[in-house]
Chain A
């Protein structure tokens, strides 16, 4: 019996108002593998990631987690997943520490690292008590990315995680991703950046052919 991959996407399609946005998406990820989604603006990178998170319902196709469709293991799938979207979901009136604590509390699987250590890890050591409206866009993203240090979820879906992040931050993020992969996790991310990671595959999205004019 062939063992089933951690995450498998079969023939996934999504249409909006009868226009096809994504077609025939097939992906398969074993533990320790990472897929980088590439494509022009508007080619559906965010849509694909949101389909994976199950926030959007596909119009056709299936997503399997450990061999079973995610509709049948919804709770398990969602608690094993971490998604950082286009917008960092940072509340401006809360402090960095409160934001992170809340994000962590609402996700199921976490390790023992303290909130303060995680913020220090993403270079926000002195900022934990300051309301987020005084921070920059890049720092907002760092607050969200600090979740990666605490999370024990196996599936990471990251939508343009390098936006507004400086060089030093990128290399830090790379090393954290490698750590996650080495411990058996899986990453799907969209980015235009070239990444130096093992087991990296690229998946290019093209606008679906045969679209009705």
Chain B
């Protein structure tokens, strides 16, 4: 049984990664969005590096959140349209495991690239040097929370034709704690404080999300795919 649980997770993870690889252009768009919006900030705010440095951490986090939100919409959409979701619902494995595989694939293709690119944005927005490591750590943990929570929203709206906008309405309030502790980790480090406590809370949020979100998403999918 343990083996079959595992295979459900790995099979769907591998499949979604392969699919993302085949549509590289599409998969890269959240990343491009992330980088492009960051050029708007100096244009809209100020090119002065001292003032940019003040808002850099928060801005990078807000953009990461929006980029994740843009992409999480597609988590189940194509599977719903071509009938794969129907097959997923009747796998003998417990549904949360394959879902966790899909969510992991989503994080590996959006959250992780965002995290890896973020130092570049930090450079562009003159983030103080002490903020880089905390930013990378907090983004890696935080975007995983965003993918997990977003999956619940995506499952709730999968059968709706214009689910994308509604999805952001549903999920955005749930993202608040993540962005609070994510930015706090970076600002703590910049202010010379110990930044591990907020990061630890982010870790706790991640632990809670990984336990609960796949369950909630599974329940939601069974309901929304019923009609």
Contact = CB atoms under 8 A, between A and B. Distances in A.
The reply, when asked whether chain A contacts chain B directly with Cβ atoms under 8 A, is yes
Interface of A: 16, 50, 53-57, 74-75, 78-79, 81, 83, 85-94, 98, 102-103, 105-106, 108, 131
Given A94-B19, A105-B11, 7 more contacts: A78-B92, A83-B87, A85-B86, A89-B83, A89-B84, A91-B78, A98-B18
Contacts of B8: 106
A51 to B, nearest CB: 11
A173 B102 CA distance: 33
Contacts of B168: none
A89 B92 contact: no
Given A78-B91, A98-B18, A89 B11 contact: no
A98 to B, nearest CB: 7
B161 interface: no
Contacts of B1: 75
22 contacts: A16-B227, A53-B90, A55-B226, A56-B226, A57-B226, A75-B1, A75-B92, A78-B90, A79-B92, A87-B81, A88-B82, A89-B82, A89-B86, A89-B87, A90-B82, A93-B19, A93-B22, A93-B23, A94-B18, A102-B11, A103-B87, A105-B7
Interface of B: 1, 4, 7-8, 11, 15, 18-19, 22-23, 78, 81-84, 86-87, 89-92, 225-227
B158 to A, nearest CB: 14
B192 to A, nearest CB: 49
Contacts of A81: 90
Nearest to B94: A75
Contact of B83 (A54, A78, A85, A102): A85
A86 B84 CA distance: 11
Contacts of B92: 74-75, 78-79, 108
A79 B8 CA distance: 13
Contacts, number: 62
Nearest to B20: A93
Contact of A102 (B15, B89, B225): B15
Q: Lowest 7 A-B CB distances belong to which pairs? A: A87-B83, A93-B22, A78-B92, A89-B83, A79-B92, A89-B84, A55-B89
Nearest to B91: A106
Given A89-B82, A89-B84, A106-B11, A83 B22 contact: no
A86 B83 contact: yes
Contacts of A98: 18
A87 B227 CA distance: 15
B159 to A, nearest CB: 13
A153 to B, nearest CB: 11
Residue among A50, A56, A102, A131 with most chain B CB within 10 A? A102
Contacts of A90: 82
Contact of A91 (B7, B11, B19): B19
Contacts of B84: 89, 91
A88 B15 CA distance: 17
A81 B23 CA distance: 32
Contacts of B81: 87
A55 B83 contact: no
B99 to A, nearest CB: 14
Contacts of B82: 87-92
Contacts of A106: 8, 11, 87, 91
Nearest to B85: A89
B90 A54 contact: yes
A16 B226 CA distance: 9
Residue among B7, B22, B92 with most chain A CB within 10 A? B92
A91 B17 CA distance: 13
Nearest to B225: A55
A106 B11 CA distance: 7
Contacts of B91: 78, 106
Given A78-B91, A79-B92, A105-B11, A55 B86 contact: yes
B78 to A, nearest CB: 8
A123 B164 CA distance: 40
B121 to A, nearest CB: 30
